[in-house]
Amino acid sequence: MTFPVRAHGPSPLRRWRAAGLLAPVAVAVVAVVASPLGFVVAEAAQAGWDQTRRLLGRPLIATLLWHTVSLAAAVTLATAVLGFGAAYLVERTALPGRRAWTVALALPLAVPEFVRGYSWVSLFRSVHGYWGAVLVMTCSLYPLVFLPVAAALRGGDAAAEEVSRSLGRGRLATLWRVTLPLTRPALAGGVLLVSLYLLGEYGAFAMLRYTTFATAVFTQYKLGFDAASASLLTLVLVALALLLVGLDAWAGRHARVTRHGAVARSAPPVRLGRWTVPALAGLTTLVGVSLGVPVYALGYWLIKGSSTTLPSASVLGATLATLGYALGAALVATAAAVPVALYAWRRGTRPARAVERVAYLTRALPGIAVALSVVHFSVRYARPLYQQPPMLVAGYVVLFFPLALTAVRAALAQVPPGVEEAARSLGTRPLAVLGRVTLPLVLPGLGAAVAMVGLTASTELTATLLLRPTGTQTLATQFWVYTSGLAYGAAAPYAALMVALSVPSVLLLTRRTLGRPGKNS
Amino acid sequence: MLGTVRPLAGLSLVAACAVALTACGSSGGSADGSPAPSGSAALAGQTITVYSGQHEQTVKALTEDFTKRTGIKVELRSGDEAELANQILQEGAASPADVFYAENPPALTVLGDKGLLAPAAADTLKSVPTADSSAKGDWVGISARTSAFLAATGKGADTAPPASVLDLAKPEWKGRLGIAPGETDFAPVVTQVVKAKGEDAAKQWLKGLKDNAKVYDSNEDLSTAINSGEVEGGVIDHYYFYRMRDEKGAAATHATLHYFPKGDPGALVDVSGAAVLKNGKHQAAAQAFLGYLASAPAQTVIAGSESYEYPLVADVKGKPELPALDGIGAVADPAQLGDGKQALSLLQDAGLLQ
């Protein structure tokens, strides 16, 4: 380390050094989080040609492909419309109680996947199959679109919209031609997460009796104990994910929105007039359906289940373990996402963007494939850490890195590059610019990344069962122990605690994503 | 780190403690409260790791009792049996597991075929009927359950159960039936049908089931669906009914359990089993645990637990509400069940699984 000299203008050598550090760090991070892809390819390669033909040649494959693609298309479209619509209503209109709505609309994120699946299936036996899956997945995933779009709307400069209105363009035309393009990167990021997630989701579809490639992968592991066949099927998911990431890249080619001014102004809210009542009714339905159903089901089992007992002493231990692992994973994933996002976003070169996109692919892998790959690598290359707390944290980081990356990327997009350039031209070295200018500006965004990963990790089950230290219980594993013994009453307190623990994260998330209340009004 | 035993010392201890534990077992009720078996004294203080796919509350009671008797501590890793088996396959020789306790034979057969299991001590194998363990002797049967027909009751006329599991493929069951083909418990029923009627007939039977049945993810879901009247009946393991009845209360239970007649492929008795892993570091202590599981005290714990399984040791009685096991049928031959791959591909070909 050399003593920092305040030179006038960075020397070419220093510029090179900082640049040289960022790329390898980013590439190393992505190599680690994308290692499950390598595992899947290596396992699939063990299947012979005959096995491949038998497995992929079945007529059922076409059905599964159609199920997977049609479901992903419908849910992605529905979450895009609902997420954008809700974000527009709370950010750009004079809707009553906008701040309360923002929190309520984000809260479904606090409900764990398997709790949601179970509560729907136990209350409404008719909710299953394609439409059931569309309904339940839309309800649980729309916040992934809502939050980034709302953040983009709040953080983005409304000047363009004002100009459009003042030039006589109608409200709808402005919405379509100006507001929508402004939020395109946020919308695209959210939609990409939703669609990739749908490719890999297993538990909810199994409960809703809807078969996709991910459920087929799970069957191969479960009944065939056959990693090679399962990995072959997983490769189809990877191919679909590549297609989605490519689509995203293509759609995002011309959609790079950067803010030019350092201060954003918000537009005066659009008055809804006679649309106020339908808008409120729509939001009430959305929140009621996505939050009300799981809350009701939990309440039912807390009261009605015969196995309901006062939560035992293990609840405290499970809660602390859950909190510790989730927080650890959230911090590590966020820290790891910073260099990757910086590299991809600031460098913007083709290879830099490619590195970033690879990181998203793991999101499409079924949880069991990711978990087994972490088992595979850690048993071989990190033996002393296997089934120790750091490995569970590492597993979460691998699983949820894309969530952190999206949040950090969104935060970076809100920093006008001019600010950094100005700092650099004043003679600050690149690393110092990062530390003193960029990071403080993206800190709120990092909070969102921490909350997002923490939230998701605290309810994770598959990888937790495989990677946790022997003897450790989290809230999710305890919930699983009881539900698999049909003791729903005993399971309910653990599910309720998971939801309760997630609420602060959601509050943090809405606040961090959207800025402090009142800042823009 | 955990203490380890030199392989030779370990081996010499295996026989001693297995004998001691079996002695406990054969002496029946008096075994309870007897001092720790003398052979295991040297093992006290060791810690073994048990991967278990069985009902956690029951296994916890078992490991606690085992520790009290022997001084050997147990790290219990509960999970889904299939996930745990896949985990052990990935871990290979580096697995921290000393014992694998599975719900069904195929999970054990897969690990045995990969050469990951050590032979169970002869005396442990002797304490349960020979048919209940692996023919190779690399795992031992611990408890049993039977497949049965759960029929909805209460709403309108009670559903009459089928005379044979084969009848479920008949058109009269169209739209009334539920199945959970993805459960590791259902594959053995398929294997039994193949054994009784041949592969072609089994294919026809599955085709009929595909036409007739709604497909559920798990036996828990299926039991709940039958109880709520969504479907009129389905094949489950007997204990799901009892566990559901315990949870919902008798008043809210709208289903009855019917056993298939003896000799029917549906009258299947399936065992859970446990094995010592060949690469485990505590061979002697692991064998002692296996011996304990097959002993009368452990079998008494299993019989009295909320998991509603049948004990396999001769003198231990199951729960009073369960009909006697030998009235239901023979234990499914683990060799016939194999690694489950045939059942899987038949289910896939029939379109019941992906």
Give residue-wise pLDDT tens across range A90-130: 888 888 888 888 888 988 888 887 778 777 877 776 777 88
B182 and B119 both lie in a single domain? no
The whole-angstrom separation of Cα B295 and Cα B289 is: 10
- How does residue B155 score in pLDDT terms, banded at 50, 70 and 90? low
The whole-angstrom separation of Cα A374 and Cα A392 is: 9
Find the mean pLDDT for residues A367-373. Answer: 90
The whole-angstrom separation of Cα A50 and Cα B339 is: 20
The end-to-end CA distance of chain B, in Å, is: 43
pLDDT of A167 reads 77
Please report the ipTM that was assigned to this predicted complex: 0.80
Give residue-wise pLDDT tens across range A7-38: 344 444 444 445 567 888 999 999 999 999 99
The reply to whether B20 falls in a domain is: no
B245 and B217 both lie in a single domain? yes
**To the nearest whole angstrom, how far is the Cα of B220 from the nearest Cα of chain A?**
6
Q: Which residue of B has its CA nearest to A368?
A: B83
B104 and B124 both lie in a single domain? yes
- How does residue B307 score in pLDDT terms, banded at 50, 70 and 90? confident
pLDDT of A267 reads 60
pLDDT of B41 reads 65
**To the nearest whole angstrom, how far is the Cα of B219 from the nearest Cα of chain A?**
9
Which of residues A342 and B31 earns the better pLDDT score?
A342
**To the nearest whole angstrom, how far is the Cα of A477 from the nearest Cα of chain B?**
9
Q: Which of A60, A209, A383 sits opposite B351 (nearest CB)?
A: A60
Least confident of A443-447, B6-10, B145-149: B6-10
Tell me the average pLDDT of chain B: 85
Q: Which of A58, A379, A383 sits opposite B90 (nearest CB)?
A: A379
The reply to whether B226 falls in a domain is: yes
B104 and B181 both lie in a single domain? no
Q: Which of A225, A470, A486 sits opposite B220 (nearest CB)?
A: A486
pLDDT of B137 reads 94
Query: H or E stretch including A350?
Result: helix A350-361
B156 and B242 both lie in a single domain? yes
- pLDDT at residue B30 is higher than 70: no
The reply to whether B190 falls in a domain is: yes
Q: Which own/partner pairs from B5-12 qualify as long-range (CB within 8 Å, at least 24 positions apart)? A: B5/B43, B5/B46, B5/B281, B5/B282, B5/B283, B5/B284, B5/B285, B7/B283, B9/B284, B10/B282, B10/B283, B10/B284, B11/B283, B11/B284
Q: Which of B230, B339, B340 sits opposite A125 (nearest CB)?
A: B230
Question: What CATH code is carried by the domain that includes residue B82?
Answer: 3.40.190.10
The whole-angstrom separation of Cα A58 and Cα B346 is: 13
Least confident of A511-515, B3-7, B143-147: B3-7
Give residue-wise pLDDT tens across range A228-271: 888 998 998 999 999 998 888 877 665 555 554 545 556 667 77
- How does residue B260 score in pLDDT terms, banded at 50, 70 and 90? very high
* Cβ contact A225–B351 (<8 Å): no
The reply to whether B11 falls in a domain is: no
Count of domains observed in chain B:
2
- pLDDT at residue B18 is higher than 50: no
B186 and B210 both lie in a single domain? yes
Domain that holds residue B57: 44-143+271-323
Contacts of A484 in chain B (CB under 8 A): 80, 220
pLDDT of A62 reads 85
B153 and B134 both lie in a single domain? no
Least confident of A81-85, A507-511, B26-30, B281-285: B26-30
- pLDDT at residue A506 is higher than 70: yes
The reply to whether B195 falls in a domain is: yes
Tell me the average pLDDT of chain A: 81
B232 and B294 both lie in a single domain? no
Give residue-wise pLDDT tens across range B233-248: 999 999 999 988 988 8
Least confident of A136-140, A308-312, A313-317, A483-487: A308-312
* Cβ contact B107–A225 (<8 Å): yes
- How does residue B136 score in pLDDT terms, banded at 50, 70 and 90? very high
pLDDT of B11 reads 37
Find the mean pLDDT for residues A136-160. Answer: 82
* Cβ contact A221–B86 (<8 Å): yes
Name the burial class of residue B166, with classes exposed (0-12), middle (13-18) and buried (19+) by CB atoms within 10 angstroms of its CB. buried
- How does residue A514 score in pLDDT terms, banded at 50, 70 and 90? low
The reply to whether B26 falls in a domain is: no
The whole-angstrom separation of Cα B116 and Cα B108 is: 10
How large a percentage of chain A has pLDDT more than 70?
A: 87
Contacts of B354 in chain A (CB under 8 A): 60, 64, 211, 213, 215-216, 219
* Cβ contact A488–B340 (<8 Å): no
Q: Rounded to the nearest 10 degrees, what angle do helices A113-123 and A475-483 cross at?
A: 30
* Cβ contact A481–B78 (<8 Å): yes
B253 and B229 both lie in a single domain? yes
The reply to whether B173 falls in a domain is: yes
- How does residue A521 score in pLDDT terms, banded at 50, 70 and 90? very low
Give residue-wise pLDDT tens across range A159-195: 777 777 777 777 777 777 777 777 787 888 889 989 9
Which of residues B319 and A444 earns the better pLDDT score?
B319
Contact B271, B141 (CB under 8 A): yes
How large a percentage of chain A has pLDDT more than 90?
A: 20
- pLDDT at residue B37 is higher than 60: no
B96 and B129 both lie in a single domain? yes
B186 and B239 both lie in a single domain? yes
The reply to whether B78 falls in a domain is: yes
pLDDT of A11 reads 43
- How does residue B125 score in pLDDT terms, banded at 50, 70 and 90? very high
Query: H or E stretch including B118?
Result: strand B117-118
* Cβ contact B347–A223 (<8 Å): yes
Which of residues A312 and B326 earns the better pLDDT score?
B326
- pLDDT at residue A329 is higher than 80: yes
- How does residue B14 score in pLDDT terms, banded at 50, 70 and 90? very low
B301 and B203 both lie in a single domain? no
pLDDT of B204 reads 94
Find the mean pLDDT for residues B292-313. Answer: 93
